[in-house]
Structure 1
Amino acid sequence: MNDLSAYRDAFIEELVDQLERMEQDLLSMENEVLEETVQSIFRAAHTIKGSSAAMGFDEMKSVTHEVEHLLDMIRGKKLEVDSSLINLLFNALDVLKVLRDEYMRGQSYSDISKLLYDLQNFTKVADTQIPVKSLPELTLEQSLQLDEAVELGLQLLKIRIHLSDDCPMMAARLQLIAQEITARYGTIICSEPSVLFDPNNEDSDYSQAIFLVSTSLDMKDVQEQASTLTDVRLAKVDLYKPLNKAVNAVSVPKDKEPAQEDKSKQGPQTIRVSVERLEHLMNLVGELLIDQTSLNELKHSVSSRFANEDFVERLSDISDHMSSIVEELQESVMKARMLPIEHLFNRFPRMVRDLSQKLGKDIELLLEGMETELDRTLIEEIGDPLIHLIRNAVDHGIETADVRASKGKRMKGRVRLNSFHEDNQVVITVEDDGAGILPDKMIASALRKGIITDEEAGRLSDLHAINLIFRPGFSTAASVSEVSGRGVGMDIVRNQIERLNGLIDIESKPDQGTMFTVRIPLTLAIITGLMVKVSGRDYVIPMNNVIEIVRIPIEDIQTVHGENVIVIRDKVIPLIWLHDAMQLERGNMKNKFIPIVVVGSAEKKLAVAVDELLGNQEIVIKTLGTFLGKIPFITGATILGNGRVALILEIAYLIQMINKHKVGHLVHTL
């Protein structure tokens, strides 16, 4: 029993879950302090304390012990939840995450002495205080008054007043303070005690009061003014955030519920499976898919040679049944690898909260489509690009409260993160209601940095000017920000998304906001590809890059500025032969009609001429390995049913390189 390594994985899994629950509950508690939320955080801290003590992880046990004590004081109404306490609990959570990571890596543990001092000192100060007052439950009229203030873009503040001990007539002084608050700051929605102070009521404590006020003033200004009020020993001002109203779930009466078996007798309904096992299972399914394709080709070959033989029908039945089984197995394994995107989205509320405080902005983050499922590998890969998009929205997109007020916008900024399924892809949007992107400003910045020429600038539409943000080295930031870093630009974000066979688009309107739309496949393991043949060799074009397929007469190919183009529905599209990109010789053009695949990446389109179109096929992606390194235009390979290897084209890189070396002046104008 001395060897605890056997329990290490179970401890880490539980720790990850408990820390994530604590973070979500702390974010919720910052909006409104609910008894069940405090209780949930307390249970999580208590669980972590017990399990870390059992594992001999004393640093984590010590931290959670102090956190547990603070939460117990909140439960006992001995401590009020304010911004300083919330920040302290978030600091403790961050240290717990660092300790977790160090424990997983087997590193020496961080010094926790400062955090322990802060936690213990906060507790000691709280122990010496008298019980604090809290706001009463709002009446219907007060709730409507609060909603109206929010709609008008006013700030909601909690103003806590502690009177000096030598104040002779505390009730009368609070009455005067209430009148002064109304005259100088705004409207008192409610207070404790009531603004109708009764000096003859000896049972009431008038040494302190708390006011809920709607105001157009800045919180810092109110704090400074409130501290100078007569006979006030301490004034403390905090933001008040009403809890968002949620739709209540419809509950079914017990007597109406369908009869069910006792769940407690059925054992656990879920099990944990290691990622390595799922990866191995997916590889085996991929091999089965390749063999099933080979069997299908064998069936067609045998059927043509032995059309009237009995075994041909038997072979056909077996092949069809195997196809059905493999397809179902593939779907089941892919579902097992899927996770709700909630696992990714839950990281962002804390990040937006911290950034908002650092930048002095009031920003709400709306999360939608949390139930959308995505391959767990993609959830990990898409995280960094989304972090960059959200940080940019908070830092550069959303204006400060005073600027927003001068534009007639609500003072609180909004960032909306949404996800949904569309065809065989997952679409993720990052939208803000900020200043938007000004095309003229983009062009001026690009000219100043030498990214475009004066001639190119004159031909750019507003859409293409906005898309300059994706060019390497481009930035419109006037100064380096601690939040957004030193110009790690949107080109890096775009490259990361395109590496996942995804696309990113942008829409923006001045003073209305900006929306980035990211489209990525459901999985990276198996995709649908368009099979094409070039110079006798097979290539795969991912279907999510295919816009349309056409056949055009060879005489319809035109030349502009020395480069080949085609015109489809009055749109000029650059044309290349895939032979040239792959450095293969073009054969004699026997056919008068050329097969053309129009592909796209973001706002750019490219027409690709091939020798032959072979049709769509489910393909298993195989990496080329580190020995070969990065091969231009190639993202991987697949094994076909006939045993041959087909290379998978990286369309985004193909367009990028062709744009850079061949038809740059055309692509920019399309």
Structure 2
Amino acid sequence: MNSLLDQFVSECRDLIETSSRALLALETDTENPAQINELFRAIHTIKGASGLFDFKPLTSCVHAGEDLLDAVRAGDVAFNSGIADLLLEMLDRLVEWLDSIEDSETLPSDAQEISAALSTRLRDYISDGAGVNDADDTSQQTEVAAPWPDDIPVLEGAETGLSLITYTPGETTFFAGGDPLRTVLAAPGLLWMQVVQPDDWPDVDQLDPFMLKIGFRLVSSATVPDLEKHFSYDIDDVSIERIAATDGPSAIEQLADDILQSQAALLATPQTGVAAENIQKSAADVVARVGRNLNVSDDAVGDLDATIADVRGEPAGNDPAPVDKPQVAEPEKQPAAAPAKQRSSGYLRVDSDRIDALMNLAGELIVAKNAMPFLARKAENIEDGRELVREIKMQHNTINRIAEELQAAIMQIRMVPVGSVLSRFNRLVRDMSRKLGKDIRYVVDGEDTEADKAIVDELSDPIVHLIRNSIDHGIEDPTERAEADKPKQGTIRVSAFNKDDSVVIEITDDGKGIAVDKVVKKALERGLIDAERVNAMSANEKLQLIFLPGLSTKEEVSDLSGRGVGMDVVASMVRRLGGQISIDSEPGLGARVTLSLPLSMAVQQLMMVEVGDGLYGVPVDSVVESQKISPVSIRRHRDAEMVLLRDRLIPLVRMRDLFQCDAQDDPETLSVMVVDVNGHESGLVVDRFHPGVDAIVKPMSGVLANYDCYSGTALLGDGSILLALNLREIVECQYH
């Protein structure tokens, strides 16, 4: 896909998001002029941009939506939920078509049919809302008209009246993106057009081809309201009046006479050789065509003078047959399309200050790099190696500082607001609550909170699952809420904020909450956990069982929930991103799901540990402390090894046993790294500790991709490979 088309798709997706937000806001405040104008501007921009490409069904459909919004903006049509539904359906179609353009650079084969039907439904609202009817149109056609101008040929329909338009666009129209000629040629009912030249043309050396000097006069059979709508963006440069003629030749006769006269003038132009032959052949062909279409006598056809005389002396008695417009069969009306899955954009909008900071750091890095050859030459002549080592270390410190600042600057460029994802779920809440007969308000806090673009792009799917669960499982219907002395309108609130080096997303609802006993019962029934483990759990730990695969408290399976995959899928996606998830609930008051995700997936801080012959990385954020303990301090509880540290009983995980390393002699002390996994501490028994390192962790590939105990690999400075550990899987593998 070429860069221009790629940019068009990306910008249209952003404009569709803007349009959806404005539409949903208008449903609660139908007369908000700011939202109406924002919506109109977004749709108008999509229409204008699509005109650069040959996607006529898309352009036509958006144009119809723009006309409807223009009528709403003018107050001719009252905005209502029906209009909102139809415009949202149009936006859904646009998303589908953009997906097709992105995949194949073409629209789907049924785009023209869908566009025609949808455009008709959109414009039906204009007719209904504006109160225009056939009687009104007739009155427009039969109102008192001005006399027919002498310099305009009498056209078909002149007896009953036509519209004369004088269009004088401003000199700077081209700079505003206007195309006056295209506007004139696309005028409805166009019968005749004339270019109006200025009274005085500037000298050739002073002529600016980009400054418009001409105007237009045109005659149309369309009504004044239709013409005003067509010229709505240039209405200040247009005057429209009705004109009529009582007698004169028919339009087709006048047109034929004009054509034949032009051919006569062309033949009279001095020409020789091939040019003369070509002109004569062309004129003969035109005369024959005109004659045949006007039923001129056979003797006159082919002779210019005879044909002109025949046209003037024996006017055709029959009007030309009207040209039928191609009719597009309207397909069977389909329900509004489901919100399409959002594709992540390949573009980033970056503040210029962040780019400037990156450029400055790049300059410093070049300066530091240029110092290295000087050090190399100095090394050739130096006798005292200590001085060289000192200068190399100094230069390394400089490069290290620049590299760290460069990394931070690049991270800032990749940071985008989470609101770009969170705000789009207004539509999901609206459609699902209507389907279930519930009244639900969707609120977003902390839209400006920033996170890495890769994290933000991945947020969509887990949050969709959580919001669907809140709508279906959590929020009660209005009657049930009224019986519980709660407001009939439920609320789903999504909050985002930064905490330490993480971004936290909380999804809260004020529904009926989660019945912990019911969760435990389902887990036991399905054999997902045994009774002994349940008895040892706290109430909060029992609540976390809802993340077990295959568990659902919904008694009936619907198209929204009940299959026992939602919460497990959410937990898996969050953990794959290196984050954590937890849930809290109070019966009758609601539930809150908390997602804690790293700000970035690019660079991670890892503590290195050695087990057997391998080096492994543990995320610094998960490390609580590192200790040397005596083997005699280890206690056994229910076949598990534990150690008491600062009044905390810490279960141990022997990494050598887990990785099936060769047995070693009993050491005098054990190296234990205490880590926090989902709020529970465990001690990893390793051979020895190593310093921490900043590493770019790449996902596992090949055979190792099937081993869940590893989250990825990183390349160290000496070329060796570091395996990053998935602590959750390691702890579960040890105990479960």
TM-score, normalised on structure 2?
0.63
Aligned match of 2:47 = 49
Q: CA 1:627–1:8 in 2, change beyond 3 Å: closer, same or farther?
A: farther
Match of 1:367 in 2: 444
Equivalence for 2:261: none
SS of residue matched to 1:346: helix
Aligned to 1:85: 83
Residues 547 and 413 of structure 1: is their aligned pair in 2 closer, same or farther, counting only changes over 3 Å?
farther
How far apart, in 2, do the equivalents of 1:629 and 1:466 lie?
31
Q: Distance in 1 between the 2:569 and 2:14 partners?
A: 31
Cα drift, residue 383 of structure 1: 1.8
1:384 aligns with 2:384: no
Matched, 1:558 2:557: no
Amino acid at match of 1:78: D
Q: Within 5 Å, give how 1:390-429 maps onto structure 2.
A: 390-429=467-506
Asked if 2 retains the 8 angstrom alpha-carbon contact of 1:395 and 1:484, the reply is yes
Counterpart-to-counterpart distance in 1, 2:351 and 2:713 = 38
**Displacement after TM superposition at 1:323 (Å):** 1.0
Q: Deviations over 1:16-40 (max 9, x none)?
A: 2221211111111112131222122
Report the Cα distance in structure 2 between the residues aligned to 1:492 and 1:438, rounded to whole angstroms: 21
SS in 2 for 1:435: coil
Q: 1:5 to 1:327 in 2, by over 3 A?
A: closer
Separation in structure 2 between the aligned mates of residue 307 and residue 374 of structure 1, nearest angstrom: 50
- What does the per-residue CA deviation read over 1:484-539, in whole Å, with 9 as the maximum and x for residues that have no partner? 36332312211111111111111111111111111111111111111111224321
Alignment match, 2:13:
16
Provide the residue aligned with 2:715 in structure 1.
639
How far apart are the structure 1 equivalents of 2:415 and 2:500? 17
Q: Deviations over 1:313-355 (max 9, x none)?
A: 2112101111101001111111111111122112211111111
1:630 aligned residue? 706
| Matched-pair contact (CA < 8 Å) for 1:601–1:651 | yes
When residues 605 and 486 of structure 1 are mapped into structure 2, their CA distance, relative to the original with a 3 A threshold, is same
Question: 1:119: Cα distance to partner?
Answer: 4.7
Structure 1 gaps, min length 5: 133-267, 296-301, 661-670
| Displacement after TM superposition at 1:640 (Å) | 2.2
Q: What corresponds to 1:208 in structure 2?
A: none
Which piece of structure 1 moves more, 632-641 or 504-513?
A: 632-641
> Matches of 2:666 and 2:385 in 1, distance apart?
40
Matched-pair identity in % = 32
Counterpart among 640, 655, 668 of residue 578 in structure 1: 655
Asked if the contact 1:428/1:518 (under 8 Å) is kept, the reply is yes
Whole-angstrom distance in 2 between the partners of 1:14 and 1:62: 19
Aligned to 1:386, what secondary structure does the other structure show?
helix
- Could you give the per-residue CA deviations for residues 27-62 of structure 1, whole angstroms, max 9, x where no partner exists? 111121312221222222222122212201112111
What's 2:93 paired with? 95
If asked which structure has higher relative contact order (CA below 8 Å, sep 6+), I would say: 1
Cα separation, 1, equivalents of 2:407 and 2:582: 31
Residue pair 1:66, 1:116 contacting (<8 A) in 2 also:
no
User: Counterpart of 1:668?
Assistant: none
The whole-number CA distance in structure 2 between the counterparts of 1:129 and 1:429 is 43
Corresponding residue of 2:543: 466
1:485-496 superposed matches below 5 A: 486-496=563-573
1:199-210 maps to which residues of 2 (within 5 A)? Answer: none
Instruction: Return the offset for 1:598.
Output: 2.1
Give distance in 2, aligned partners of 1:115 and 1:482.
29
Structure 1 residues 451 and 624, CA, compared in 2 at 3 Å: closer, same or farther? closer
Q: Paired residue for 2:398, among 321, 326, 340?
A: 321
Matches within 5 A, 1:262-341: 270=352, 309-341=386-418
Secondary structure of the residue aligned to 1:109 is: coil
Unaligned runs of 5+ in 2: 133-349, 373-378
Q: Distance in 2 between matches of 1:639 and 1:376?
A: 23
Amino acid at match of 1:62: S
Are 1:78 and 1:127, in contact at CA under 8 Å, matched by a contact in 2?
no
Q: Would you say 1:621 and 2:697 are equivalent positions? A: yes
- For 2:524, the equivalent position in structure 1 comes to 447
What SS is found at the alignment partner of 2:51?
helix
Q: Take 2:718 and 2:118, find their aligned partners in 1: how far apart are those partners? A: 68
What residue is the counterpart of 1:120 in the other structure? 120
Secondary structure in 2 matching 1:54: coil
* Paired AA for residue 438 in structure 1: A
Moved more, 87-96 or 69-78: 69-78
From 12, 16, 28, the equivalent of 1:31 is 28
**Cα contact 2:584–2:591 (8 A) shared by 1:** yes
Give runs of aligned pairs for residues 134-153 of structure 1, distance below 5 A. none
State the 1:86 CA deviation.
0.9
Summarize the Cα distance change of 1:129–1:463 in structure 2 as closer, same or farther, 3 Å threshold: closer
Alignment CA distance shift 1:54-1:122 (3 Å): closer
| 1-structure distance, mates of 2:84, 2:354 | 33
Could you tell which deviates more after superposition, 377-386 or 85-94?
377-386
Q: 1:390 and 1:125, CA in 2 relative to 1: closer, same or farther beyond 3 A?
A: closer
CA distance in 2, matches of 1:359, 1:111: 31
The one-letter amino acid of 1:28's match is A
Distance 2:13 2:462 in 1: 23
Give the 3 Å change call, closer, same or farther, for CA 601–486 of structure 1 in structure 2: same
Provide the C-alpha distance between the structure 2 equivalents of 1:114 and 1:10, rounded to a whole number of angstroms: 25
The corresponding residue for 1:527 is 604
Local SS of the residue matching 1:629: helix
Superposed CA offset, 1:51-79 (max 9, x none): 21220111211110110111111122221
Structure 2 letter corresponding to 1:428: I
Q: Which amino acid aligns with 1:89?
A: L
Superposed CA deviations along residues 217-256 of structure 1, whole A, max 9, x for unmatched, are xxxxxxxxxxxxxxxxxxxxxxxxxxxxxxxxxxxxxxxx
Matches for 1:342-357 after TM superposition, within 5 Å: 342-357=419-434
Quote the offset at 1:445 in angstroms. Answer: 1.4
8 A Cα contact 1:505 1:603, kept in partner: no
CA distance in 2: counterparts of 1:390 and 1:345, whole angstroms:
11
- Residues 188-232 of structure 1 deviation map (CA, whole Å, 9 limit, x = unaligned): xxxxxxxxxxxxxxxxxxxxxxxxxxxxxxxxxxxxxxxxxxxxx
Larger Rg: 2
User: CA offset at residue 115 of structure 1?
Assistant: 6.2
Give me the whole-angstrom Cα distance separating, in 1, the residues matched to 2:483 and 2:721.
62
CA contact (8 A) 2:606 2:620 kept: yes
The alpha-carbon distance between structure 1 residues 110 and 37, as it changes in their structure 2 partners (threshold 3 A), is farther
1:448–1:110 CA distance, 2 compared to 1 (3 A): farther
Q: Distance in 2 between matches of 1:41 and 1:129?
A: 19
8 A Cα contact 2:577 2:597, kept in partner: yes
Partners of 1:319 and 1:460 lie apart in 2 by: 52
Moved more, 637-646 or 326-335: 637-646
1:371-422 per-residue CA deviation (whole Å, 9 max, x = no partner) reads 1111111112222111111111111111111111111112211111111111
Q: 2:684 aligns with which of 577, 601, 608?
A: 608
SS in 2 for 1:532: strand
Note closer, same or farther for the CA distance 1:130–1:318 as it changes in structure 2 (3 Å cut): closer
**TM-score normalized with structure 1 length:** 0.69
From 724, 727, 732, the equivalent of 1:648 is: 724
Contact 1:480 1:487 in 2 (8 A): no
Deviation at 1:455, TM superposition (A): 3.1
Aligned residues: 497
Measured in 1, the distance between the counterparts of 2:663 and 2:572 equals 31
Q: Aligned equivalents of 1:515 and 1:129: distance in 2?
A: 44
Change (3 A) 1:468 1:88: same
